[in-house]
Homo-oligomer: A and B are copies of this chain.
Amino acid sequence: MDDDRSHALTPSARPPATSQLLDRIEDGDARALSRAITAIENRAPECEALLRALYPKSGRAAVVGITGSPGSGKSTLVDRLAAAYAASQRRVGVVAVDPSSPYSGGAILGDRIRMSDLEENPDVFVRSMATRGRLGGLAGATADVVTVLDAAGRDPVIVETVGVGQDEVDVVRLADVSVVVLVPGMGDDVQAMKAGILEIGDVFVINKCDRPGVDALERALRAMFALDESVRTPDAPIVRTIATDGRGIDELRDAIDRRGGARDAPPERARRRRAARARLTAVLEERLARLAHDHLLDDGEFEAAVDAVERRERDPYSVVDEVLGRFRFGRAE
């Protein structure tokens, strides 16, 4: 083995955690929270040290995932729900990973992004997540941000996502309580929820419940709970809301809290164990992917292989076999 080409898989440079930043995060300082989350999004050098220090202090918050199609009124609902928690002396964290969320910023097509009332509320910390370009996936980054908010004493931590793609399903799986927002009369909406979201809902919301079709939607949900064996919470409460005028929001908060209060029951323990396993696996995969980028891909030979693949002279499978075949992976001692 050529030792010059042999690398331990652990990162070499690991700056000491900024203990001052950590202290401020634990005090719940919003600017310190923002800074830590930016470090996570950018994979800044200090981010792992921060997460190592904060992880043991996390695990107290109820993590509430809220998902629904664009147009379901989900963002307004999250707004109101966060305000309801704040009104009952809770300090709330909100992570918006939905590209259609007003929090996720960036007005396009001349649309003005609605400024949330929450920005004025010191008991609610709102942060959007970029949905692109993160090695290791959106779910991993979101899990890290939830850890920071949880360690900072935010409880609940609400994760808002649009329930369509695999990334979004993975994000919902992080949650202790999953809330699915539906709207009467939107067949498309229901179609869009097929990717595993309905099965994992613990609490269902029928928002805009002054619209026609609300009874039919509730009956359809109950029928699904009864028929589909993959449904996780067959007795899931169905709460009717009109987020725009606040109707049903307190009932929703109570339904979430009842579900969150069951967190030490055996099925919930099993779920948290699965979440811990997924977390470990995600960190491991991210590290391996980074390794591939650092040690295999920055190579003139790799560029030549890209050319050959583009011209169809070679196929990507045999190129990867060849590249990996040159390396050996085994215990150091």
Interfacial residues, chain A to chain B (CB-CB below 8 A) = 1-3, 5-11, 48, 51-52, 55-59, 69-71, 99-100, 104, 106, 108-111, 131-132, 137-138, 162, 164-169, 186-192, 194-196, 198, 220-221, 223-224, 228, 272-273, 275-277, 279-281, 283-285, 287-289, 291-293, 295-297, 302, 305-307, 309-310, 312-313, 315-321, 323-333
A1-B333, A328-B8 given as contacts; is B164 within 8 A of A56 (CB)? no
Could you tell me the distance in whole angstroms from the C-beta of A97 to the nearest C-beta in chain B?
A: 10
- State A178–B37 Cα separation when bound (angstroms): 33
Could you tell me the distance in whole angstroms from the C-beta of A308 to the nearest C-beta in chain B?
A: 9
- State A198–B272 Cα separation when bound (angstroms): 38
Q: Is the CB of B52 within 8 A of A6?
A: no
Q: Is the CB of B223 within 8 A of A109?
A: yes
- State A201–B133 Cα separation when bound (angstroms): 18
Q: Is the CB of B108 within 8 A of A190?
A: yes
Considering residues A109, A111, A196, which has the most beta carbons from chain B within 10 angstroms of its beta carbon? Answer: A109
Q: Which residue of B lies closest to A2 (CB)?
A: B331
Please indicate the chain B residues that have their CB under 8 angstroms from the CB of A58 in the complex.
312
- State A254–B316 Cα separation when bound (angstroms): 32
Q: Is the CB of A52 within 8 A of B273?
A: no
Return the contact of A190 from the options B57, B109, B189 (Cβ within 8 A). Answer: B109
Please indicate the chain B residues that have their CB under 8 angstroms from the CB of A138 in the complex.
165-166
A194-B106, A223-B109, A329-B7 given as contacts; is B284 within 8 A of A315 (CB)? no
Please indicate the chain B residues that have their CB under 8 angstroms from the CB of A295 in the complex.
329
Return the contact of A333 from the options B2, B3, B331 (Cβ within 8 A). Answer: B2
Q: Is the CB of A331 within 8 A of B331?
A: no
Q: Is the CB of A315 within 8 A of B51?
A: yes
Q: Is the CB of B191 within 8 A of A323?
A: no
Q: Which residue of B lies closest to A286 (CB)?
A: B320
Considering residues A166, A316, A332, which has the most beta carbons from chain B within 10 angstroms of its beta carbon? Answer: A316
Q: Is the CB of A164 within 8 A of B165?
A: yes
- State A2–B296 Cα separation when bound (angstroms): 23
A51-B315, A224-B108 given as contacts; is B191 within 8 A of A10 (CB)? no
Q: Is the CB of A191 within 8 A of B111?
A: yes
A55-B316, A195-B99, A309-B276 given as contacts; is B331 within 8 A of A6 (CB)? yes
Q: Is the CB of A166 within 8 A of B280?
A: no
Could you tell me the distance in whole angstroms from the C-beta of A222 to the nearest C-beta in chain B?
A: 10
Could you tell me the distance in whole angstroms from the C-beta of A50 to the nearest C-beta in chain B?
A: 10
Return the contact of A165 from the options B8, B168, B320, B326 (Cβ within 8 A). Answer: B168
